[in-house]
Structure formats: structure tokens, C-alpha cells
Chain A
Amino acid sequence: MFAQILKGLRTTLEWGLKKPVTIEYPDIKRPVFERFRGRHELKRHPNGLERCIGCSLCAAACPADAIYVEPGENTDEERYSPGERYAKRYEINMLRCIFCGFCEEACPVDAIVLEHNYEISSYSREAMIYTKEMLLVPPPPGVPDTPQRTPAPPPQDMEAPVSNPQRVERTPPGGYITSYVPVHVVGEEVHPWLLNPVDEEEHTPRPAEAPSGEERA
């Protein structure tokens, strides 16, 4: 009889002795693939000017009609982007977005990039409309924010394709994923572009309970 009970519990006990597969989100976050398509970011040039030129091609490509762009015109006194045109308003409705990445593909200046943040939830529909201020990354350290008071850079002939240096340099924390190993990232520096207000106290790691990623591995 006892043997029968053990037999019946065999699978349970087997799993009880194994390493658990549950990941304790949000304390533990699994890293994403390099080409994971998470929340959008609007990038900047190294000199702090916005890459986005407000051309609306992302909105045209968007199959979910999630993007609204209102263009404006740059002046030397008030310059947002290198050329004539910039995005005065740029909004993405994250409830509509299906994260297909077509906007990224359509963008002629590599301004919009679907990054690795997937924590996009809110208590209201209004808060799910991400404005330009929320999407735009901050300027590099020591570089002034837009609008800048600067003349237009000299025109470039578009013969050689311009690559996006920011995109290449970026490596996710913990390196690129090679296997599904959960890595503990809580307590690491919160990305500055994660503009959803983060309650610092709530996210400080609990030292005793939370094992580090290395231990787990």
C-alpha cells in the first residue's frame, strides 16, 4: 500500500527533487533575445538631435494604426532634428500595437527601434498612449536636450547607407542569450529610459530570499 502511494506520487516527488522551472517574476526576469521586439524607443544622434524626422512612414506601415505623428518644421533657433522636419507629436497606442516591427523597418532614419522592455501595463487606457516624451531616449551625457539652437548640419548625399551605431553597441545586461537560463536582474540599474515611474523601495531586492543568477546557474 505504501509502495502504491509512493508509486502514485512518483512523478510529484521526482519534480520535487528537481530544480524548479518557475521563474519568480518580477523578482527574476528572463533576458530576451537580441532581436526581441519590446517597447519602442525614439533614438537620438550623438549630438543630441532627434533622429525622427516626422515623416509618418511608421504610421503608414503600421497594420494596427497605432501610431500618430504630427510633423513640425525646424528652425535654426529651435532645432529638434537635423533636417527641415521633425515630429511635433509622436504617439503610439500600446493597446493597439502588435509589436510587429514594421515601423522599425519603414523608418528611413533608424529613429524608432523596438527595444527590450516588455513591461507595458497600466491601470488606464489613457496611460497606454505613449507620447513622444515617453518614447524619446534622453540625450547622451553632457549633450543638451532638444530643441537646440544650432544650424542645420550640411546636407549628406545618401549614397552610403548610414548605420546606427547605437544599435550595434548595445548589449543586453548579462550578454546575449545562448540558452534559457533565468538571470536575476532585479537590483541592477534601472534603465534610464524606463520612464514608467518606478517605486524604488518596492524594487529593492530582498537579500535573504532572492538568490543571485549565478547561484541558480
Chain B
Amino acid sequence: MYYPRLRGHAHVITDAPEVANAWRGTLEFILTSHPLDCPVCDKGGECPLQDLTFKYGPDLSRFYVPYKMHFQKPVPLGELIWLDRERCIYCSRCIRFCEEIANDPVLEFADRGRAQEIVTFSDPPFDSYFSGNTTDICPVGALTTEDFRFKARVWELRNVPSICPHCPVGCNIVIGERAGDIKRIMPRANEWVNEIWICDKGRFGHHFVGADDRLTAPLIRGEDGQFRAATWPEALDYVANRLAAIISTHGPRAVGGIAGARAANEDLYVFVKFFRDVLGSPNVDHRVAWPTGTGIEQAVAHVGLASGSNLASLGPGSLILLVGSDLEEEQPVSYLRVRRARRNGATVVVAQARPVKEEAEAAHLLRYRVGGEAHVMAAILKVVLEAHKNALDKRFNKLKGAQQVREAVADLSLDELARISGVSAEHIRAVAEVVVNARDVVIMVGREALVGAEENAPALVDAAVALLAATGKAGQVNSGLVALWPHNNSQGACDMGVLPDMLPGYRPADEAGATVDDMLSGAADLKALYIMAADPARDRPSSLNALKNVELLIVQDLFMTETARLAHVVFPAAAFAERAGSYTSLERRVQRTEQALRPPGEAMPDWWIVAQLAERFDAAWPPYATAVDIMNEVAKQVKVYKGMSYDKLEGEPVSWSTVAGYHHVYTGTSTLNTWFGRTWAVQAEARRPKYALRWSGLRPPRHEEGVRLVARRRLYDHGTMIARSHLLDRRRARPEVLISSQEAARLGLEEQGGAVRVQANGVTLVTAARVEPRLPADVAVVACDVDGTAWNALTEGGVRAPFGTLEKAEEAVE
């Protein structure tokens, strides 16, 4: 990428006397005005300037410089990053990172000569989700984070490899632990996942682990309606007895389980095993923040991004098709990866109903109408199948269902599809041509596409699968389908079979259980509900009735969440840093973590709690001592995880970071990453792929009065985990609605916006409206997971895109 590109066979000498001499001269000059306050500098100990001075630096300077440049010591570059101008050596790495890699050009040099300094000119200052990375690549201590400022010296930290718990990218991180506290989070270099970057949510969002309000003991609701602390045996016995009683009266289907997708694979596997084997209930699901009934879980197992893929290796001739994504807000490091691919020459096509940041990378922008997502995809498929018959893959026709797809697509009219989706037929033909000619095709489907398509979501997924199969890209390295999941282990939850209609490893279940929608709406008529690591009362406030009506509500979480407040029994769980586990990223890379801290009080890992319950039902389970035992069982029982073990999750071929070794000049940290994880192979990679194509049928999109409300998830929201990082408070998402200029004119608002009343889904909110000129007229973008639960009620936490009405409000809003 930014390393020198060498053509042909080159031999680079880095240790010649000339090199040392050049280093010596440069260092001598740099040190004429470096404060040398290494003892107080947070970079001391992993400072490239310090190391190079030790290795090459002269002990005396020939320069007569009567003074050193002095500035006021630290000045803030935003509230996350501090700048020490005395230490800066004007290498401009931070400026280049922001400009070239993150596409947030907010830093620049000001002044000249010795008075030169780095300034930020954005409002809020240093407005970037990747600002923390500049402190890693800063070769001196000029940029330091507020989070780690004067917290510890780097050599005192115990560096524990882990996986970021915030989003499905699965960034490799290293937890710097000291005296039982997380002092800092740094990226671990992994060329397949996050290179050497992480976003600021990953870096500064760890404070929930050490928060004061963590649950520390099991709680049982007494006769008086108050919680009382209980011992583990007491609470487990209570739950086991109540569950057994409910099952004996109402049958096993009266029990449901919702597992949050931030739990580890081991927890989810044991959870599913408990429900299906021990209780005999098929009602398990994890999709609290993801639409159900789209079929994308199965599609990813069929034609997902093939193992061995690396988005960074995409280049000229590669295509990344983003449908309904908002990478920077939901999977920030994926944005860097897509941008890197584009810079390497790949073509990026963005299909989105509203403006998003990755549009800047797009060669083609398909601005469809909300509800027309599936129609866009079907139109591309139609053009590919019909206008490029010669380019189609020969294996396509042999696939089961191919003929059905052909016929169904032949019945569609391109003009009609173009009319419904709002994307011109010309534009679709151009994109289809890119798809056909592409060397690699990566299709990333975001939540907004599936939510907006509503009942056409299965058709959207079917079209994407057929597109990959027809072009012969299914199963090919660097090609495939990626679901942009909402949580760090949503993919693992699908793999472990936390789905009502699938067993672990995507085996179809004999009888389908209740989906999360049924369980939370009350349609499943549950008597007992076991919720692990999820907070539906907050994310989907419409579930309040269902949650209140169950006879037994068991909640297993880190905090006293909205859902836990309604519970009859609350189990305290251990956070990701307090136990070992494995997580599966959106590229299906299984990666493991190590325990860094002790859980607070009596909190225990999720799998332990579930296994203890199973023991009380006389389940003939092997005694699980550690997460390793469960992983070994998963490797035997779950087909796609065959042959995996914690040992095998450690090594992969040599990467750049392995070559660089402990050299933090390149990797930012002085920890060497040797745990790269392992991707499991999708069905299409098999020699004789056995997946079938489907066609679920396209219906015209629903139309009602008003504008379509699209929920935008922001990186810094008010979620349970991130809310504890008060460093981010000032950047947190605010309640607001983005409207188009036309809508603003219709409502009679000022040019910048004003107060509006939003009505949808039985909720009325008065809020500030901001005009976004690039927004289509029939779409309004609403906040989600901001203060309170009202905003989540509007869109069910982002899994619905209802029609809503806007009117000008007289009330003043801040």
C-alpha cells in the first residue's frame, strides 16, 4: 500500500555503514530541538526515536543551537488526543493517515520552521473515528491518548491478545493490563483483518469492563418484588426448578431463549445445546438487532467470502458491491479495508438510499428508493443473465434451482425494476458490465438493505447468491457474500445454530422454533424466557409486554439492563476480557481471546452458567472445565468448524507483521501477533458444491403515506457497553432526524432545519431536524439507540423502516 513498490528483483540493504551514517546525521538534527523528556513521555519504552537514538544516535551534537523550541506542554487535539508540540518531529504520518487512509482530512501543518505545528481545523476538533491510530504511528510522544495519558509505563503492562467486542470486523487487539485494570487497548497487527488499525470505539470503549455498576452476584426477585443477592447454587437451583415446572405443565415449546450475539462461540454453542438437547425447545434466536426471515444466514454459509480471502489484496479488476451499508458507523475498520482496496485499483459500487461516507470511494453510486433494494439486485442479475450469456460460468446451470432463477428473472421487466427502485436502467447495465468483467466480486449486504426491502429481503439475498454463482465467483478466493452483521459474534451465533430453523453448522432443523420477533411480540406465547447477553427491553421497546408477561424471565448480563430490571433471576456474567473464548468475524474468521482480568465478584463466564443449569437437568454432558473443552467439542460437532482448536487458531502464514516482529516502528505496538485466526470454508468452495439457488419472488414495495424512516446506527451510541466510556460522551449520537431539502421546504423549515414532530410506529417524538441536501425526498434518517428507549421504539432499534409523518413542531428543541 504505502510501502515502497519494488519492481522486479530488488535487494534492499538496511544495515550498511552509509545507512548508519545517514541515521546518525538525521538523528543529530532531530535532537537539536527534542525536549528529551522521555521519563514523563508516554511513548518512552516503545518510541522509535528513542530506539534509533540508542542504536545510531551520536552522544554529542555538532550543531550549536542555543535554545530548544518550547511550547505550552500538551494541547488538546479534540478530547481524545493530546498534542505535545515540543516532541513533534514533523514526520506528517498523522496528517497522511487522516488524509490517505481514513479519509478524514482534518489535520494539517501550520507555520514554518521551528514554529511549525500540527493543527486540526474540523469542528469538533480532530473529527475522526480513527484518531487513536495516529498515536500508534506517531514515532515520538507528540500524540498521546487521553485514555492512556500517564496511566502506566508501557513496559509495566501485561499484553493480553484479545478480539475487539464492539463490531463484527473482529479487529485483533491487545489489552494492556496492569494491577487488575485495563490501561489501554492497542491493535494487534493482522493483515487479514485490521492491518494495524482499530477504531476509536475499540480503543476507548473498554471502560464497561471495569465499570462500578457491573453485576457481581446472582439476584433473585423475592416475594416483595425486590432483588436479593443469592449464592450460585441457590440461584441455579431456583431457575432449574422453575424451568422444570414450566416444562412439565406447558411443554418445552413454552420456553424460549435469546442469546445476544456478543457472547463467544463457546457460550452460544452451550446455550443452543441446552435448549435443543436438554430442554427440547427449538425456540432460540440471536437476531435482536437484525431482521429475521431474510435467509442471509444460510446464504453466507453457501457463498460467503471464500477462505483465504484478504480484502487488502483486491486490486485492479476487483469489485466490491456495497448494498445498504454504512461502514464507517457500523464496521469502521471495514471502511478502511474497502478504501484500501479502492486505492489499490479495485472498483467500488455503492447502492444506498441515503448518503454514506463510502460513496467517496464509489465508481458507481446507485441511489435507490427505500423498498427497492431487492429490485436493484434483481435488475443487475437480470442484465448479467440475459445480456452477458457468454460470460456466465458453466457450472451455474448445474446448480439446483438455476433454471427456476432464470425463468423468474426472465419474467421481470428491466424498466419496471428500474422504475420501482429509482435507479436508471442505463446505470444498472453499466454496473452489470462491471460485475461481469470483474476478477473478484465481493458483495457486502448491510442491515439497512434487508430492513428496507422488508418482505423482498429474501429476494435480495437470492439475487446476490445467484449473481455470485452465475459469474462463477462463488467459492473463489477474494470473492463472496459478506453480511454486515450488527454484533461482534453474529456470524458465530449463526454458525453455532442460535437460529430457530437451523442446528449448529447450518443443518436444517426438523421443526422450526419461534423467531426472536415471535418471542418478543408475544406471538410465541412463552412461559419462560432466557435472555443471555441481550437487552431487548431497550433495543426493541415493543417487547415490554411480552417480557412482563412471562412467568419466568432469566437474564444473564454484565449490567442491570432494562431487561434485567424486569427479570425474575439475574445472573452476573463475565465480560470478554475476563474469560477465554472465540469469536467469528464477518469474514467468518474464527479468532480466540485470552483472559486478561478476573471477573468482578461472583460473575462467571456465560458457558459456565448454562452448563451448571444443564447439570441440574441431569444432562449427560462432559464436564467442561475451560472454554477449550467446549471448542474441542464444537470442532467435532459443528461441521464447518471441523478440525479447529485453540492451537490451530494461532498460526497462519507469515505476514508483514511477523516479518516486522516486535518492531513497533511499523506496527505501533511492541507486541508480536501470532494469533491470526482461521476462516472456515463455505459450501461453494467444495469440489462439488451442494447448495441450491432459490428465488423467493419479488413483490412491489409497500407504500403508505409519509416518508420512509431509515434508522442510522452511529458508532458512539448509548448502548450498554459504550455508554460507560465517558471519554466519548461529547461525540455521542444525539437525537435528530435528517430530512431532505424538499421535505424541509414542504414543512416550511429554515434552510438549516428546525424542530419537527416525528410520528411512526405509534410513537411521537419532537426533535431537531437537520437538512441533508443529498437525501432523497421520500427518506428521513432517524437516530437510533440514543437517550432513552423512545428512539428505539420508532424503528424497533433499526430492524424496521416504517413510514412516518413529519410535521413542523412549535416546541423549541436544543
Contacts and interface: CB of A to CB of B under 8 A. Distances in A.
Interface of A: 53-57, 59-60, 70-73, 83-85, 108-109, 152, 154-155, 157-158
B39 A55 contact: yes
Interface in B249-302: none
B75 to A, nearest CB: 12
Interface string B50-91: 000000000000000001101001100000000000100000
Please list the 10 inter-chain residue pairs (A to B) with the smallest Cβ-Cβ separation, ordered nearest first. A55-B39, A85-B40, A71-B150, A56-B153, A108-B39, A155-B70, A73-B150, A157-B68, A53-B40, A85-B150
A72 B149 CA distance: 9
B35 interface: yes
A83 B37 contact: yes
B150 to A, nearest CB: 4
Contacts of A71: 150-152
Nearest to A108: B39
A73 B74 CA distance: 11
Given A70-B152, A155-B35, 16 more contacts: A53-B40, A54-B40, A55-B39, A55-B44, A56-B153, A60-B153, A60-B155, A71-B151, A71-B152, A84-B73, A84-B74, A84-B150, A85-B150, A108-B39, A154-B70, A157-B67
A184 to B, nearest CB: 43
Contact of A57 (B36, B39, B150): B39
A62 to B, nearest CB: 12
Nearest to B73: A84
Contacts of B68: 157
A1 to B, nearest CB: 75
Nearest to B35: A155
Nearest to B84: A84
B729 interface: no
A157 B150 CA distance: 22
B156 interface: yes
Contacts of A109: 39
Contact of B73 (A54, A108, A152): A152
7 contacts: A53-B40, A55-B40, A56-B156, A71-B150, A73-B149, A109-B39, A152-B73
A133 to B, nearest CB: 20
Nearest to A73: B150
Given A71-B150, A72-B150, A59 B156 contact: yes
Nearest to A83: B40
What is the predominant secondary structure among interface residues of chain B facing chain A?
loop
Contacts of B150: 54, 71-73, 84-85
B184 to A, nearest CB: 14
B684 to A, nearest CB: 54
B36 A158 contact: yes
A83 B155 CA distance: 22
A157 to B, nearest CB: 5
Contacts of A57: 39
A160 B68 CA distance: 14
A70 B35 CA distance: 23
A87 to B, nearest CB: 10
Interface of B: 35-37, 39-40, 44, 67-68, 70, 73-74, 86, 149-153, 155-156
Contacts of A56: 152-153, 156
Contacts of B73: 83-84, 152
Contacts of A70: 152
Contacts of A60: 153, 155-156
A180 to B, nearest CB: 40
A193 B258 CA distance: 63
Contacts of B35: 155
A132 B150 CA distance: 18
Nearest to B178: A70
A54 B44 CA distance: 13
Nearest to B66: A157
A69 to B, nearest CB: 8
A77 to B, nearest CB: 15
A35 B723 CA distance: 55
A61 to B, nearest CB: 11
A132 B37 CA distance: 23
A70 B151 CA distance: 7
Contacts of B74: 84
Greatest chain B CB density within 10 A among A73, A108, A157 is at A157
A84 B40 contact: yes
A84 B40 CA distance: 8
A157 B31 CA distance: 12
Contacts of A155: 35, 70, 86
Contacts of B37: 83
A71 B36 CA distance: 19
B74 to A, nearest CB: 7
Contact of A53 (B36, B39, B86, B151): B39
Contacts of B152: 56, 70-71
A13 B156 CA distance: 62
Contacts of B149: 73
Nearest to B39: A55
A82 to B, nearest CB: 10
Nearest to A60: B155
A152 B67 CA distance: 19
A111 B450 CA distance: 64
A108 B152 CA distance: 17
B425 to A, nearest CB: 62
B226 to A, nearest CB: 38
Contacts of B153: 55-56, 59-60
A125 to B, nearest CB: 18
A182 B70 CA distance: 54
Nearest to A85: B40
A147 to B, nearest CB: 15
B57 to A, nearest CB: 15
A139 B384 CA distance: 83
B37 to A, nearest CB: 7
Contacts of A53: 39-40
A215 B155 CA distance: 56
For B73, B74, B153, the residue with the greatest tally of chain A CB atoms inside 10 Å of its CB is B153
B260 to A, nearest CB: 35
Contacts of A108: 39
Nearest to A57: B39
A59 B155 CA distance: 10
- Of the listed residues A53, A57, A84, the one surrounded by the most CB atoms of chain B closer than 10 A to its CB is A84
Nearest to A107: B39
Nearest to B33: A157
Contacts of A157: 67-68
A85 B151 CA distance: 10
A170 B5 CA distance: 64
Nearest to A152: B73
Interface centre among A55, A60, A72, A109 (most CB of B within 10 A): A55
B114 to A, nearest CB: 14
A53 B41 CA distance: 11
A55 B68 CA distance: 22
Nearest to B40: A85
A105 B39 CA distance: 14
Interface centre among A53, A71, A152 (most CB of B within 10 A): A71
A84 B68 CA distance: 18
Contacts of B40: 53-55, 83-85
B10 to A, nearest CB: 41
A106 B348 CA distance: 55
A154 B70 CA distance: 9
A71 B44 CA distance: 14
Contacts of A158: 36
A54 B39 CA distance: 8
Nearest to B37: A83
A109 B36 CA distance: 13
B670 to A, nearest CB: 14
A73 B150 CA distance: 7
A157 B70 CA distance: 9
A59 B152 CA distance: 11
B284 to A, nearest CB: 46
Contacts of A152: 73
Residue among B35, B39, B155 having the largest count of chain A Cβ atoms under 10 Å? B39
